[in-house]
Amino acid sequence: MTFLLQTMWPHLSAVEQKELAIQLQSLSVQCEGSPVPLVLETGIVVPPANLTDIPICIGFVLKDLKPFLRPRLIEQEKEDMGPFLFTPIHFGSLDRNKNKGDPKMDFLWVENEACEISVKLLNPLPFELKVSDMRLLTSGIVFESVPETLTLAPEMATSLSLTGWARESYSTHALGVKSNCRLKYMTNNFPPHFKIDVIPSLPVLQVATSLPPSASFSNFHDDSIVTSASLSLYHGESAICTITLTNPSQIPIEMLEVTINGALDPSLQSEIFHIDQEAISSMLPLLPEQTASFPVKLFGAANFLAPNCAVSPSTGQEFNSGMFNSLSTIQGTSSFSRINSR
């Protein structure tokens, strides 16, 4: 019945498709179907069939890791390799054209980090379709998938996320029949396979501050910020913020670099934030499940008082003072600044 439904699906009417699907669902209650060859009494061998059109996969997208989990290559100083030789001959041009259609992804996945694949499914049947034990199938590395179960509304598209560490295709359990659905056998125009590099496990670092969390903060146009805190200082005041680092992974952290990214002038920024690099170096290596802290000294420095208008006996004197985070000005005899630490 599975072989008949799979091979004849494009040639069946909507009523016939519904009737055969209901019959297959009833038969699978008595005996679960599996994609294995079936030998009939006459000696005819029915090849294994997978229901690649129930449901129909209309979208398959590999997702990059979250910004704060993406591996970044450590930049090293370039060494002088001698004189530079230039040639107008492109020896690898033919190879580049040959690999133009290579479906290799331009990002990396990390071992033991949950990776995501977005799948969009369409239920072609006029009744609800329950899909159980849906998981990814991969080749090349050891893979542990997370099974998903969902119910697809009739003749509607549904999006879901499958998690794992690599990909080649996906597996479904619909109408009581188990199917191993590979992209190269699907009706939609998918690449026969995707390639993605999986690098060894990397350590993970959790960051917490001693300051109270801020209600809102700028994310610098990305999603890499996971912790935000705020502190209010008058000009000339100082405070200390304690940064606590925890290594929740099973890999020791042997190198740590702490920098300040902001829109302030570098000279002014160095007056506001002071980080003791020696204290950070003394914490290393940070072993698994270990916690360490280091202080960050904050000082309320800015363009303190600047006359805004000419002084005359008949009018009072007006002053401006710069804001740290927005570099805007306020009026008055006293000034107030706000530091957002990230």
Has residue 334 got a pLDDT over 70? no
**Ranges 36-45, 72-81, 243-252, 275-284: which has the least confidence:** 72-81
| pLDDT recorded at residue 245 | 92
Most trustworthy range by pLDDT among 113-127, 180-194, 293-307: 113-127
| pLDDT recorded at residue 67 | 82
> What's the whole-number average pLDDT of the chain?
74
Residue range 199-250, pLDDT digits in tens: 888 888 888 889 888 776 655 555 566 677 888 888 888 899 999 999 998 8
| pLDDT recorded at residue 285 | 92
Mean of pLDDT values over 84-95: 56
- Cα–Cα distance, 300 to 325 (Å, whole number): 12
**What is the DSSP code string of 130-186?**
EEEEEEEE--SS------EEEEEPTT-EEEEEEEES--SEEEEEETTEEEEEEGGGS
Angle, alpha carbons 10-176-41 (nearest 5°): 75
Helix (H, G, I), strand (E, B) or coil at 54: coil
Cis-peptide, bond into residue 285, ω within 30° of zero: yes
What phi and psi values does residue 129 have, to the nearest 5 degrees? -120, 120
Has residue 283 got a pLDDT over 70? yes
Q: Which residue has the higher pLDDT, 116 or 313?
A: 116
| pLDDT recorded at residue 79 | 65
> Would you kindly state where each structural domain of the chain is located, as residue ranges?
2-71+101-199
What is the pLDDT confidence band of residue 316, given thresholds at 50, 70 and 90?
Answer: very low
- Is residue 143 within 8 A of residue 166, CB to CB? The reply is yes
> Above pLDDT 90, what percent of the chain?
7
| pLDDT recorded at residue 186 | 75
Residue 295: name the closest of 264, 274, 270, 317 by CA: 274
Residue range 64-76, pLDDT digits in tens: 888 888 888 777 6
- The 10 Å Cβ neighbour count of residue 286 is 19
Residue 182's Cβ-count burial label (10 Å; 0-12, 13-18, 19+) is: middle
What is the pLDDT confidence band of residue 326, given thresholds at 50, 70 and 90?
Answer: very low
| pLDDT recorded at residue 227 | 72
